Structure 1
Amino acid sequence: MSALYTAVATTTGGGRQGHSETSDGKVKLDLSYPKEMGGSGVGTNPEQLVAMGYSACFGGALALAGKAHKVDTSNALITCRATLNRIDGTHSLSFEIEVELPGVSQADADAIVAEAHEICPYSRAFKHGAPTVARAKAQA
C-alpha cells in the first residue's frame, strides 16, 4: 500500500459538542448534537461531515465509471444519507447513496453507479472495513 495523501483533523472540547478543524486550517467548525437527538442543532455533526465526504468521493468514482461508459457525469446530483442507528445498546452507521444522472438511461445509470460503488474509497472502506488504529497519548 502506498499512501497518496493523509488528511489530519483535530477535535477538542467534548467531541460532538466541541470544535473540529483540519491541520491546514481550511475547515473549522463547531459541533453539536442535532435537534433530533436532543441537541441545539447549532453546529454540524459527524454524520453530516461523513455524508459530505462520501458524496464528494463518490462523485470522483462516478466520473471514472462514467468515462469508461463514455458518459459525462459532471451534472450528476449525488446525495448521501448517513444514518446513526442504535442496535443492541450500541451505535452504528448506515449509508445510502442516491445518484441522479440527467439524460442517461436507467440501465446505463445503474451500471455506472454500481461500478462507482466498487471504485469509491469510502464505499470500499465501509464495505470491507478500513484498517484503523486507535491509541492513547497520555500527558502527565
Structure 2
Amino acid sequence: MSIDVKYRTTATATGGREGHARSDDGALDVTLSTPRALGGAGGAGTNPEQMFAAGYSACFIGALKVAGQQLKVKVPDDTTVVASIGIGPRAAGGFGLTAELTVDLPEIDPATAERLVAAAHDICPYSNATRGNIDVGLALA
C-alpha cells in the first residue's frame, strides 16, 4: 500500500492504562485511567477507547464532508457522529475492539443519508484502517 503522507503526528505514553499520554506538540496531554469494567479504579483520566471514539467520530464527519462534495450534497453544519467503541476478550485469544457509528444528518432524506454514510465509510482513514480488522456498524440516527 502506498500512501502520500500529508501530515504526521507523534504521541508518547508512559505507564500504560494508568499513566499519561502527550502529543509531541503538547496539544494532547491526558492522564490515563482504566475503566472499572476492565478491572481498573475508574479514575478521572481518559482511556484509549475514548480517544479512539473521539478520533473516529471527528474523522468520519470530515469524510462525510468530502463525500458530500463528491455527491453534490451539502452536509449540514450540525451533523453529528456518535462512535461507540467496545473492547473485550476475543474467542481466538487476546483482546479486540468493536465500533458502532451512529450518524445524524439533519434534514437529509434517508436514501441520500445512506449514500453519504456509505461513501464516507469508503473515504475515512479510520474506516480504512479498521476494515477487515474489527466489526464496524453504521447506523443513521
Structure 1 counterpart of 2:79: 76
Q: Kindly report structure 1 stretches of 4+ aligned residues shifted beyond 4 Å.
A: none
Q: Structure 2: where are the runs of 5+ without partners?
A: 134-141
Name the TM-score, length of structure 2 as normaliser.
0.85
Alignment partner of 1:2: what SS? coil
Residue of 108, 128, 132 corresponding to 1:124 = 128
Deviation at 1:94, TM superposition (A): 1.1
* In 2, Cα distance between equivalents of 1:72 and 1:36: 40
Q: Hey, what does 1:33 align to over in structure 2?
A: 34
2:105 corresponds to: 101
- In angstroms, what is the RMSD of aligned CA positions? 1.3
2:18 matches 1:17: yes
Residues 66-122 of structure 1: per-residue CA shift (max 9 Å, x gap): 122332222211111111021134100111111000001110000000000000011
Write the distance in 1 (CA, Å) between the matches of 2:100 and 2:54.
12
Q: Within 2, Cα distance between the matches of 1:40 and 1:4?
A: 39
**Tell me, what secondary structure is at the counterpart of 2:131?**
helix
For structure 1, the residue ranges without an aligned partner over 5 or more in a row are 130-140
Cα deviation code 1:26-71 (max 9, x no counterpart): 1101001112223222210000001111111111100011122332
